Amino acid sequence: MATPTRPNIILIMADQMAAHALSLYGNSVCKTPNLERLAAQGTVFESGYSNNPLCVPSRASMLSGMLSPDVDVFDNANELPSSVPTMAHYLRHAGYWTELCGKMHFIGPDQEHGFNQRTVTDVYPASFQWIADWQAGPAFVPSGTALNGVVESGPCVRTMQEDYDDEVEHCAIQSLYDRAREPENQPFFQIVSFTSPHTPFTVSQEYWDRYESSEIDRPAVGALPFEDLDYHSKALFFAHGRHRHKVTDDHLMAARHAYYGMISYVDDKVGRILDTLEKTGQRDNTAVFFVSDHGEMLGERGMWFKQTFWECSAHVPFIASVPGIAGGGRSDMVVSLVDLLPTFLDLAGADSPDLAGRSVLPLMEGDADAWPDIAISDYLAIGPCVPCRMVRNGRFKFIYTHGHPALLYDLDADPSELNNLAEDAAFAAVLAELHALALTDWDPDALTTRVLNSQHQRKVIKTTPGAAPQWDFIARTGDDARFVRAQGVDATKGRLRLPQVPEVPADWPALDQETVADLITGRRNLDAFLK
């Protein structure tokens, strides 16, 4: 059966969902029957990547089909320029009605970016509140995110994130009913974007109880000695607050337990969306995609959150179900989120502009002959405070951190990324090739200047005396106080957890910028501070 002309398109997104946590990618614990159902109807891309392992830059890249430095989005307080067309603009030109339902983390006065309709207030602020500051050093975290979201993990009655995601699901499904009633039969494009399973790792009792504590698996790679870490990982040690909270084994296993419960919670929502498409007779003419903006380290290597190029952070689920293309397939070709927009335009029968990605439809149909098998990911936010870039090319992954030694891994032979081949003469040619590819049209010195200038300009606006600009898209009265706004992420989510739990105090005091720099460079010993 041929792919229908201009099918409806639904993109379902999770936030911070790691591919390695899903059964479709080899996990034996997490229960996701509805994602497996979607996969049986479509194709699982085994090597899907985020183009930036951080929320705002990743989403800007995905929506625009361009790498984040090319649209001047560096951190979680950068606006996507209104002059950059998005999926919504392109698909409206192709005759689609477009809707954004849920989280997209838009910054600045443009809160629609081409969508015909937006439902549900964003969970996070639209201001310049969370500007990265490279001059403040690796330990600076503007969002207030810390390891409280890990050490306070566990079950509860209700979380703020469930408040949000239940509303997203309701609005998305109602919209599908509305579209089914439309007599014009105009094709639609809908993004349904959940905030789960983002930290804090807290989930309602129903989903906690889907797992026995005894069945929760442990990290494949435990915490590594600080002195053996690369510079990027050392910097994130402080950015993520590992110098403030000791994560015990009980904390570790509770966090993983809750995370799996949160994934099952999202999975149920995917199932109800698929059910609605089937009930309304729209499934046979609707392409459904499932992705995440980035992954989650979940204690692997002793690390948490994202912002790294390690597989648990950069490798994301990428599932595509397209009418007319047989389901149950798998592709081992390297793809990334910038490939979504060209794919959608291909489905819409529209010409694709010059974008960073390509349509994955040929891969779904078994034609991989012309596929470049490359994914590029950038990172320009907190922690390392220098430009960082990853190139995945076939079996190899190259990591460039400006001013620091390069890393090279053979993911076929070394999926845990423990054997750095950058100093191995046998791989010198591979290293040189990927190094050159990483620096093609990417000047780290010039990029450093651009990032620092952007940070400075936004800080001037952020600190200007008087009332701060109010850019939030407010879907209903009271939403300006219901979700994360003026306060830090962990503090707000902790306060809105039902019932609240006592805040776990830090085990060690904060460190000044000079001390952090000395610890990273080895001039001082970390163990002496963390006794």
Pairing of strands 117-119, 97-102: parallel
pLDDT for residue 182: 86
Q: Is residue 480 part of a domain?
A: yes
Q: Is residue 444 part of a domain?
A: no
Report the CATH number at residue 367. 3.40.720.10
Tally of domains in the chain: 1
Angstrom distance (rounded) from CA 411 to CA 327: 27
Residue 485, token pair as written in the block? 């706004």
pLDDT for residue 470: 86
Backbone torsion region of residue 100, taken as left when φ is above 0, otherwise alpha when ψ lies between -120 and 50, otherwise beta: beta
pLDDT for residue 124: 94
Angstrom distance (rounded) from CA 281 to CA 515: 62
Residue 487, token pair as written in the block? 């306060």
Angstrom distance (rounded) from CA 318 to CA 25: 10
Q: Is residue 101 part of a domain?
A: yes
Residue 134, token pair as written in the block? 């490279």
SS3 state at 101:
strand
Q: Is residue 422 part of a domain?
A: no
pLDDT for residue 183: 75
User: Is 156 marked active-site?
Assistant: no
Angstrom distance (rounded) from CA 5 to CA 349: 7
> Residue 200, preceding bond cis, omega within 30 degrees?
yes
pLDDT for residue 5: 77
Polymer length in residues for the chain: 531
Please, what is the Cα angle at 505 between 504 and 508, to 5 degrees? 135
User: Is 243 marked active-site?
Assistant: no
pLDDT for residue 349: 96
Q: Considering 30, 55, 101, 171, which one is annotated as catalytic?
A: 55
Write the secondary structure of 40-51 as one string of H (helix), E (strand) and C (coil): HCCEEEEEEECC
pLDDT for residue 2: 64
Q: What is the DSSP letter of 429?
A: H
pLDDT for residue 4: 67
Q: Is residue 420 part of a domain?
A: no
Q: What is the mean pLDDT of each run of 10 residues along the chain (531 residues)?
A: 81 98 97 98 98 98 98 98 98 98 97 97 95 97 93 98 98 97 89 98 98 97 97 98 97 98 98 98 97 98 98 98 96 98 97 95 95 97 98 98 98 98 98 98 98 97 90 92 88 93 94 96 92 75
Domain with 296 in it:
10-372+470-529
SS3 state at 246:
coil
Write the secondary structure of 365-414 as one string of H (helix), E (strand) and C (coil): CCCCCCCCCEEEEEECCCCCCCCEEEEEECCEEEEEECCCCCEEEECCCC
Angstrom distance (rounded) from CA 362 to CA 195: 31
pLDDT for residue 185: 79
Q: Is residue 462 part of a domain?
A: no
Q: What is the DSSP letter of 361?
A: H
Q: Is residue 139 part of a domain?
A: yes
Q: What is the DSSP letter of 301?
A: G
Q: Is residue 19 part of a domain?
A: yes
* Burial zone of 452 (CB within 10 Å; 0-12 exposed, 13-18 middle, 19+ buried): middle
Give residue for tokens 């989120």: 337
Q: Considering 20, 30, 101, 105, which one is annotated as catalytic?
A: 105
What are the E-state strand segments in 188-262?
188-193, 202-204
Q: What are phi and psi of 411, to 5 degrees?
A: -70, -20
Angstrom distance (rounded) from CA 108 to CA 105: 10
pLDDT for residue 67: 98
